[in-house]
Amino acid sequence: MRRFTAALAAVLLIAASNALAQDPARIKIDAYTLPNGLRVQLVEDHSSQVVAVDLWYDVGARNEVAGRTGFAHLFEHMMFQGSKNLKKVEHSQLLERAGSSDANASTQYDITYYYATVPSNRLNLALWLEAERMRGLNVTAEGLKNQVDAVKEERRLRVDNQPYSRAIWEGTLAAFDAKSCFGYSHSLIGSMADLEAAKVEDVQSFFKTYYAPNNAVLTLVGDLNPAEAKQLIAEYFGGIPRQPTPPAVTCDQPFNPGALRQELKDDKATLPAVLALYRIPATSHADGPALDLLATILGQGESSRLNKVLARETKAALGTTVLVNPFGPRRGPGMFFGLAIANQGVTADSVEKLLVKEITQVAQTGVSAAELTKARNQYRAGKINERQRSLALAEAVQFANTYLGGPEAVNTDLDRYARVTVDDIRRVAATYLRSDNALTITIVPEKK
Amino acid sequence: MRPTLLTLALVAAAGTLSAQDFPTRPPAPMPVKAAQFPPFQEATLPNGLRLLVVENHKLPVISVQLAFPAGGTYDPNGKVGMADMVAGLLTKGAGKRTADEFSAAIEGIGGSISASADPDFMTIGANFLTADAEFGMGLMADAALHSSFAATEVELSRTQTLSALQLEQSQPEAIAARFFAKGLYGAHPYGRRPDPASVKAITQADLTAFQATRLRPSGALLVFAGDISLAKAKALATSAFAGWTGTAPATVAVTLPPARTATEILLVHRAGSVQSNILVGNLTWGPDDPRVYGARLANQVLGGGGDSRLFLILREQKGWTYGAYSGFTRYKGTGYFQASAEVRTDVTDSSLVELLNQVKRIGSETIATKEFEDAKSSLVGRFPLQVETSAQVAGQVTTARLLGLPGDYVQTYRQKLAAVTPAIARAAAKDGIKRDAALIVVVGDGGKIYEKLRAIAPVKIISVDGEPMTPSDFAVKALDVNAGALVARTDSFAVMLQGNAIGSQVARFEKVAGGWKYTETTAIAMAGLQQTTTLTFSDALEMQELHQTGMQGGQASKIDVIYAGGRAKGSATTPTQTGPKTIAVDAEMPKGAIDDNAIQPLIGTMKWAAGAKIPVAAFQGGKGTLTQFTFTVSGEEKVKVAAGEFDTWKVDLSGGEAPITMWVTKVNPRVVKIVPAGAPISLELVK
């Protein structure tokens, strides 16, 4: 099964931040565009004999329209089902025989991406495979039905069958207006009715619109010869025709529209839980790093504030976490939420009071310099460690390009975190973590 | 917008190229570059500590490994498990820091540090940013030289190790691995495994002494990878380890058992097992043997992955198993080959025969060109991905140095692999994979597989505890109850997690017309568990009926079984990962066999005494199988619970999915406390 989204692997326990790191050693990026609109970013790095091939399509759940939800993710499945010159299993098999072991894909609200790390003499294979499926897929009614079934199974396992999961996947969407911001207000996995209604022609038209060279960014990082790589890219991708620019996505979501409340019955949960969500600005916003660090201080790890107060001191909660945009970074408004699962015998109400108090009091009392330093160190070390792999660096370059205004921003991203002060933390808390900007979800166990 | 010269040039270039047809088949590999293994430097400090540096200034991060010849091989006899325990405790308090302070210190800089032991070596590994190098190395030196081995941490580690060992006794793959190692290596240190007695024998003084005698600079290897130079590494090591001296630790003399001359099966009887775990293998050679390259290729074809023969035949073609694999294990001393499969009981012999056929074929038949080239391309291609980061590079060099491989091993590995021909692979397989002098370990239900296995090779039978058995022991031994000892009673238990009550259990025995009725209600909200069990028995305590309903993790369960006429009949709906699953129950019930839910209620009727072993044949309705459980009285303890303080027998129940320890009162036997192995919860009598 393909990864649904990189960030939701351990949904309740591990919070993943979305901004990727910056490297103090400057990364040189060779960026250009093919005549058909395919944007290319090359980073030459001969410290190993591998190349990461990372292809981002500018399509995700936010591009979907009412009646056609779930298509972006369904597509990620379809991309492994064979194309003109390849049978169903060949894509993965050819990569494995070339020595690759990490080939996969992921769907988020803003993007869908496909990646593999290969030994550098098989760069041609990895590029050929991506070009082959960008040229066209084998979409048959039978293959489509298979993958709709696979997605339904995935939904059952990940959403319907896990306690508290529906609150995160679907409950949180109520923070976004379904009329003015449809893209972020519907489920990433989509409506099963929409998927069942999907016809081969719908899939082909979605493919034609979004899986076009002018809607994709190809990033290569590693042991490559730029001239040779450019020639291969031109040879394999150059002949794929450009398509009309896909329709723009708009999201006109006001902040602080007034407090929202929701009660969700959950037949998989046995203990009540509370999710306190606050709208935050797009990932590119200057307040992003302070919000990421605040999420770490509040809700990540044994010594985080929520764990100390709610789980250890008052024993009100069995577990707590804070997540920022668990379904990937955004070019539109995002979410910051705390989640606490009540201990046996503790009411949702009393957990809610403690949870909301811990989150909102930062606006008055701030955080200590020591807390900020530790969060910054963990963040920085984590990101730097990650970038030792070509693929992670390729994703950081893609991230910078999509969310921070251009690939070069990969060289300055981490500085944004280094500059965050305790005053910034208090200010962003006061700006966003307030009751009239909140959606509070109470999750009530329900017996079948 | 006006086109720039560059875009014009690109358009021209792209125009020419895109005029070509898109290739309809995948391109052939581009030429492999001269295999350049990343450079590294080596030095030796005055105190004998060897230093290895893999320089890579791409990112401001350093990873450090400190390895000692201090693996399980050096555990004293009778105290096997010591190296593992030392490794676990090195970072649980060291220098001036307690265990909590030590972990807070490394987390505070966003770094990590941990230690582990294998049969040959003990290794401490750490990661931190360049700017924190002095601080990080200080923590590493504290862990290596000044661990506290605080009594509370030692006992915690011992308890965890004992629980893990107890749990292993119920895991067929762990049981198989234990007897396989012992069968291959005999009394050689590689054949030893910790047991409860050896773990209990280890004292705090032993741990301190192990660190002092084996963690010496001479014989150790300190490896830096990342943003560091040799000079800086030397300076860091000299300052962090100032004053550290000592001669190299002693080596130990080891002897291998005599070479096996015929294939033999060791059957580990596990009554009621629905699957068999099969291991086939033999001792091979030292790590520097020239045949390793050919053997690596042969193994890739035989069982190295999802594209290999064992997997394709046993799983894809026959559907006998989820996976079947093979591999060579490399030690400082003699290593071994192993092929493995986990199969359904009824296809145990067919699977073993096929597995042996493939094992024989790989050494007797030359591999076809396409199959050979696919395997080689995967192995050779994979290598660059295995040395992508400086830490991975350091790992490869460290292994080569520790194992004493030739100086150019890492630089020439890829070419030597690429130079293997099908003939070389076959010759290496012939020497390294011995169909006709193999040890076969099968963990499974002897009653169902013994006769079939005998047709394949001579079979020796042992119990899960390693006691010799004969086929007559396969018959399940039923519980001998003392019906007169039963009295009507209600017991209330609390379910405890780390000192907090998280649930409850109420168990009631009552006399009804013509027999007894037992009702048990359990609720653990946190685990989403609710369950009501009703059992009925005749006056002579013969099983009559079981009815059980419950909810677990959001899924309903329901089991109904009627015990009559020597059979168990009914149906069982139990939760699984993919939703509730219902099976029809219809199985033979030997005389005296009980429902597994009746084990705890009938404790009052059992004949308890010091050292007693009480067999219980119990039917597991949820699985539809009969399983042999055994109670073993392992000690006497005073136990204090909410209901009071009691003189008890400490009793271990084995045979189920996870072993359970119970405390049973000596007078009027009743359970006062229950602890499942490896789980942090307990049931304690409240009243």
d(CA A54, CA A46): 18
Q: How far is A203 from chain B (nearest CA, A)?
A: 24
Confidence of residue B168 (pLDDT cuts 50, 70, 90): confident
The pLDDT value given to residue A447: 66
Q: State pLDDT tens for residues A71-115.
A: 999 999 999 889 999 988 789 889 988 999 889 999 999 999 999
A85 with B556: Cβ contact below 8 A: no
Angle B274-B279-B284 from CA coordinates, rounded to 5°: 175
Task: State yes or no: pLDDT of B8 exceeds 50.
Answer: no
Query: Which residues in chain B are contacts of A36 at CB distance < 8 A?
Result: 14
Single-letter amino acid, residue B158: R
Q: State pLDDT tens for residues A376-402.
A: 998 888 888 888 899 999 999 999 999
Chain A and chain B share a number of CB contacts under 8 A equal to: 195
Q: State pLDDT tens for residues B676-687.
A: 886 778 899 988
The stretch A402-421 carries a mean pLDDT of 94
Q: Is B353 on the interface with A (CB under 8 A)?
A: no
Three-class SS state of B324: strand
Query: Which residues in chain B are contacts of A381 at CB distance < 8 A?
Result: 61, 109-111, 127-129
Q: What is the mean pLDDT of chain A?
A: 90
Confidence of residue B428 (pLDDT cuts 50, 70, 90): very high
% chain B with pLDDT above 90:
59
B378 with A94: Cβ contact below 8 A: no
Confidence of residue A446 (pLDDT cuts 50, 70, 90): confident
Query: Which chain A residue has its CA at the smallest distance from B501's CA?
Result: A344
The pLDDT value given to residue B10: 40
**Bigger pLDDT: B582 vs B88:** B88
The stretch B354-370 carries a mean pLDDT of 97
The stretch A247-275 carries a mean pLDDT of 91
pTM for the complete prediction?
0.80
The stretch B280-307 carries a mean pLDDT of 95
**Bigger pLDDT: A359 vs B488:** A359
Starting at the earlier edge strand, list the strands of the sheet with B221-226: B41-44, B50-55, B221-226, B61-68, B122-129, B112-117
Confidence of residue B577 (pLDDT cuts 50, 70, 90): low
d(CA A438, CA A261): 8
Confidence of residue A11 (pLDDT cuts 50, 70, 90): very low
Q: State pLDDT tens for residues A425-437.
A: 999 999 999 999 9
List the structure tokens of B666.
Answer: 């000596």
Q: What is the mean pLDDT of chain B?
A: 89
Q: How far is B83 from chain A (nearest CA, A)?
A: 29
Task: State yes or no: pLDDT of A19 exceeds 50.
Answer: no
Q: State pLDDT tens for residues A332-374.
A: 999 999 999 998 788 999 999 999 999 999 999 999 999 999 9
Query: Which residues in chain A are contacts of B60 at CB distance < 8 A?
Result: 24-25, 384
Q: Give the C-alpha distances (Å, rounded to integers) separating B5 from B10, B11, B16, B19.
A: 9, 10, 17, 21
The pLDDT value given to residue A448: 52
The stretch B389-405 carries a mean pLDDT of 91
ipTM: 0.83
Angle A194-A200-A201 from CA coordinates, rounded to 5°: 95
Least confident of B35-39, B187-191, B316-320, B563-567: B35-39
The pLDDT value given to residue A382: 86
Task: State yes or no: pLDDT of B3 exceeds 70.
Answer: no
The stretch A395-410 carries a mean pLDDT of 96
B377 with A131: Cβ contact below 8 A: no
Query: Which residues in chain B are contacts of A384 at CB distance < 8 A?
Result: 59-61, 129
A380 with B556: Cβ contact below 8 A: no
B383 with A119: Cβ contact below 8 A: yes
A344 with B29: Cβ contact below 8 A: no
A123 with B30: Cβ contact below 8 A: yes
Task: State yes or no: pLDDT of B317 exceeds 90.
Answer: no
A35 with B36: Cβ contact below 8 A: no
B38 with A47: Cβ contact below 8 A: yes
d(CA A220, CA A232): 12
Q: State pLDDT tens for residues B95-142.
A: 999 998 998 899 889 899 999 999 999 999 999 999 999 999 999 999
- Identify how many contiguous H helices and E strands chain B contains and give both numbers: 17, 27
Confidence of residue A23 (pLDDT cuts 50, 70, 90): very low
The pLDDT value given to residue A139: 86
Q: Is B20 on the interface with A (CB under 8 A)?
A: yes
Q: State pLDDT tens for residues B46-83.
A: 999 999 999 988 889 999 999 999 999 999 999 999 99
**Farthest-apart Cα atoms in chain A, separation:** 67
Which of B4, B58, B132 to substitute to test the interface with A, most A CBs within 10 Å? B58
Residue with tokens 């190296």: B83
**What b-and-e string marks burial along B211-244, b requiring 16 or more CB atoms within 10 Å of the CB?**
beebbbbebbbbbbbbbbebebbbebbeebbeeb
